[in-house]
Amino acid sequence: MNKPVIITVAGGSSSGKTTVVNKILKNLKEHSIVVIRHDDYYKDQSEMTLEERKMVNYDHPFSIDSDLFYQQLCNLINGKTIAKPTYDFVNHNRAVETETIKPAKIIILEGILILEDERIRNLADIKLFVEADEDLRFIRRLKRDMIERGRTLDSVINQYLSTVKPMHYAFVKPTKRYADVIIPNDYQHDVAVDLINAKIIAILNK
């Protein structure tokens, strides 16, 4: 089996990474593709109380089980099926349920810190960084966390100011220099996605 095409999609919180991923998927329906989200690899914190888990800095690289992520990615590359962890954002902890992921020709890795690990960068064929205005990202995050994750207005604001924003400048934004393509999500990005898809096809046809 040939090595699958590995695509990393990084960028700040609520920058539009998922939108870009979905557009890539839409245009490559005839190919086998899997999407692995970095968020699902937050470390298990069952030994903590819920209040303690709420205080964890989830925007720091140490919050991610990077070794498990790398190991499972290598297994997929080598044609092995994995039991991917899943994450419960309401309870701030790894869920009991796992998701069976089979090898595919295209593997998309999505997450704010996906380019922070050199091992992942070295495996990637195409490295993307999605960029958006800071105010727009905050508004998107506020709406998402309150509607989808049951967070309060105050908790979202406090988390953003105490960890999300400072960690973005400390760890996320610096990884932009590793990207092959920087996509401004404030505007339409169909041209960028079309070029990326053409590159994916070219790699597959080698």
In a domain, 158, yes or no: yes
pLDDT at 90: 85
pLDDT at 190: 77
In a domain, 152, yes or no: yes
**Both tokens assigned to 83:** 């039991």
Q: Cα–Cα distance between 50 and 91 in angstroms, integer? A: 7
Categorize the per-residue pLDDT at 187 as very low, low, confident or very high, splitting at 50, 70 and 90.
low
Condensed to tens digits (0 to 9), the pLDDT of residues 37-80 reads 999 999 999 999 999 998 889 999 999 999 999 999 999 999 99
pLDDT at 188: 65
Helices (H), 56-164: 66-77, 118-123, 134-148, 153-159
In a domain, 34, yes or no: yes
- The strand pair at 82-88 and 5-11 is best described as unpaired
In a domain, 206, yes or no: no
Condensed to tens digits (0 to 9), the pLDDT of residues 97-140 reads 999 999 999 999 999 999 999 999 999 999 999 998 889 899 99
In a domain, 17, yes or no: yes
Nearest CA among 14, 62, 66, 60 for reference residue 38: 66
Distances (CA, A) of 191 to 26, 100, 106, 168, 198: 14, 33, 20, 27, 11
Residue type (1 letter), 171 = F
Given its phi and psi angles, is residue 108 left (phi above 0), alpha (psi -120 to 50 degrees) or beta?
beta
Condensed to tens digits (0 to 9), the pLDDT of residues 170-185 reads 999 999 999 999 998 7
Q: Which tops the pLDDT comparison, 192 or 172?
A: 172
pLDDT at 76: 97
pLDDT at 29: 83
Categorize the per-residue pLDDT at 34 as very low, low, confident or very high, splitting at 50, 70 and 90.
very high
- Cα-based torsion angle of the residue sequence 173, 43, 3, 198 in order, rounded to the nearest 10 degrees: -40
Range of the domain at 68: 5-201
Contact 141, 156 (CB under 8 A): yes
Distances (CA, A) of 84 to 17, 18, 72, 98, 102: 20, 19, 8, 5, 10
Q: Cα–Cα distance between 123 and 100 in angstroms, integer? A: 22
Given a cut of 70, whether residue 186 has pLDDT beyond it is no
Contacts of 162 (CB under 8 A, 6+ apart): none
pLDDT at 163: 92
CATH of the domain at 22: 3.40.50.300
> Please, is 29 exposed, middle or buried when counting C-beta atoms within 10 Å of its C-beta (0-12, 13-18, 19+)?
exposed
In a domain, 72, yes or no: yes
pLDDT at 178: 97
Condensed to tens digits (0 to 9), the pLDDT of residues 135-161 reads 989 999 999 999 988 889 999 999 999
Domain count, the chain: 1
In a domain, 132, yes or no: yes
